[in-house]
Amino acid sequence: MTERVVLAYSGGLDTSVAIPYLAEKTGAEVIAVAVDVGQGGEDMGVIRQRAIDCGAVESEVVDARDEFAADYCLPAIRANALYMDRYPLVSALSRPLIVKHLVAAARKHGGTIVSHGCTGKGNDQVRFEVGLGALAPDLQVVAPARDFAWTRDKAIAYAEEKGLPIDVSAKSPYSIDQNLWGRAVETGFLEDIWNGPIEDVYSYTSNPAEPRDADEVVITFDAGIPVAIDGETVTPFQAVAELNRRAGAQGVGRLDMVEDRLVGIKSREVYEAPGAIALITAHQELEAVTVERDVARFKKGVDQRWAELAYDGLWFSPLKASLDAFIAETQRHVSGEVRLTLHGGRATVTGRRSESSLYDFGLATYDTGDTFDQSLAKGFVQLWGLPSRMAAARDARLGGPSA
122 band by pLDDT with thresholds 50, 70 and 90: confident
Provide the domain limits for residue 81: 4-171
8 annotated to a ligand binding site: yes
307 in a structural domain: no
Does residue 183 sit in the same domain as residue 267? Answer: yes
220 in a structural domain: yes
What value does the mean pLDDT take over residues 227-236? 98
| Cβ 32 vs Cβ 44: under 8 Å | no
Does residue 270 sit in the same domain as residue 192? Answer: yes
| Cβ 350 vs Cβ 341: under 8 Å | yes
Which strands sit side by side in the sheet containing 346-353, from one edge to the other? 232-233, 225-229, 215-222, 336-343, 346-353
Q: Which of 86, 147, 175, 212 is catalytic?
A: 175
Does residue 152 sit in the same domain as residue 59? Answer: yes
Does residue 165 sit in the same domain as residue 77? Answer: yes
Catalytic, 124? Answer: yes
Q: How far apart are CA 314 and CA 257, in angstroms?
A: 23
**DSSP-derived secondary structure letter, 188:** G
108 in a structural domain: yes
Does residue 99 sit in the same domain as residue 229? Answer: no
Give residue-wise pLDDT tens across range 357-368: 999 888 888 888
22 annotated to a ligand binding site: no
Phi, psi of 57 (to 5 degrees): -80, -25
CA-nearest of 219, 364, 216 to 280 is: 219
Q: How far apart are CA 376 and CA 367, in angstroms?
A: 18
Give residue-wise pLDDT tens across range 159-196: 888 888 876 655 667 788 999 999 999 888 999 999 99
Does residue 24 sit in the same domain as residue 124? Answer: yes
Q: Which of 4, 48, 95, 268 is catalytic?
A: 95
Does residue 147 sit in the same domain as residue 11? Answer: yes
Phi, psi of 42 (to 5 degrees): -70, 155
195 annotated to a ligand binding site: no
What CATH number is attached to the domain comprising 225?
Answer: 3.90.1260.10
**Number of structural domains the chain divides into:** 2
**First vs last C-alpha separation in the chain:** 78
Q: Which of 59, 91, 124, 268 is catalytic?
A: 124
Does residue 135 sit in the same domain as residue 166? Answer: yes
Catalytic, 14? Answer: yes
Q: Which of 14, 59, 254, 346 is catalytic?
A: 14
141 in a structural domain: yes
* pTM of the predicted structure, to 2 decimals: 0.93
Q: How far apart are CA 302 and CA 80, in angstroms?
A: 10
What CATH number is attached to the domain comprising 129?
Answer: 3.40.50.620
Q: Which of 142, 171, 200 is the endpoint of a domain?
A: 171
Does residue 18 sit in the same domain as residue 74? Answer: yes
123 annotated to a ligand binding site: yes
Proportion of the chain in helix, strand, coil states, percent, rounded to 5: 45, 20, 35
Amino acid at 400: G
87 annotated to a ligand binding site: yes
